[in-house]
Amino acid sequence: MRPEEFTLVRDLLRTFATQHAVGSADEVEPRSRAAAQEELDGLGLAGLRGTALPAATVQECALLAEEHGRLPLTTSLLGTTLLAPELLRLLGADGHETRFTVALASDLRLPGPGAPDLRAWDCDGAGAALYADTEGNVTRARLGPPAPTADLLRSVRQASAVGAPLGRLGPQDRQRWQAYALVVVASELVGAAGSFVEQSVAYARDRRQYGRRIGSFQAVQHLLADATVLVAAGTSATRYAAWCVDQEPPDRALAAARAAKAEVNTSAVEAVYAGMQVFGGIAQTWEHLAHLYLRKVLVGATVLATTADLLPALAVPEVTR
């Protein structure tokens, strides 16, 4: 995608996010959720990685996911707009009429062997889900009733695989798909954590206690400085991983994506915790936005793979070429 085209797309998403961000948990309700999803679908972002040139790079998709994470939005950008279309593209079936999301295991990790109990993740606007097993077989999954999730902004439904596989990913395409998915999810977490830390800094500049702004207290400064470093580390790792998916062989791209997700799983949660300490007691209330960010990063840290899942894979020595 040309730089000026990407700038227009990102500005479009920013405008959309500003208009549809919720102000509290009480604003998360079905009617506004459906309206926001319909408008997002109308932006045509699902075709970003299509065969028509100039297609968006993984780096550009990651930046859009980061942007989407910055504000509390109820829309399904990751599952229906980025992840499922990429899976169809790798299968060579990106002209499919059905709007898909992705199906994960019941704990929202990448599915293991067999046909497990599935969950359609980030599924607003989708009519079905795509389930990719460990052998690379991609099967259509039927959507069931809503499934419980701590993330109030994201829809999750029960799902069950049906019918014959739509196709099969080769080993390299399977690695590309996993790397892309890890990068996109990590990018949204980075966006959420970074935005919340920025809001915490702004609050510390304005909030007065004992006749002084709390941002003048060294303990608060250190807390926010540490949180800023955590966000910067996650951002650097994620953007490098996105570059690797575009430029490096699939195995190296997957290693970089695993490292990024392992880093962000920890740094995003710790950064949001730090921001909540700065906000103080108000951050513990239902009316404040803090818990929406915290829920997003806590659940996101388990989506696809936890740090405990990723570290053993990263410890395996790289094969010398």
Average pLDDT score over residue span 224-228 = 96
Which DSSP symbol is given to 25? G
pTM of this prediction exceeds 0.75: yes
If we measure between CA atoms, which residue out of 54, 83, 89, 53 comes closest to residue 68?
83
Q: Quick check: helix, strand or coil at residue 108?
A: coil
Q: For 172-211, write each residue's pLDDT tens digit.
A: 999 999 999 999 999 999 999 999 999 999 999 999 888 8
CA distances from 98 to 130, 132, 260 (A): 11, 17, 32
pLDDT of residue 51: 59
Average pLDDT, the chain: 92
Q: Is the pLDDT of residue 69 over 50?
A: yes
317 pLDDT tier (thresholds 50, 70, 90):
confident
Q: Which fold has domain 172-315?
A: Butyryl-CoA Dehydrogenase, subunit A; domain 3 (1.20.140)
319 pLDDT tier (thresholds 50, 70, 90):
low
Q: Is the pLDDT of residue 110 over 50?
A: yes
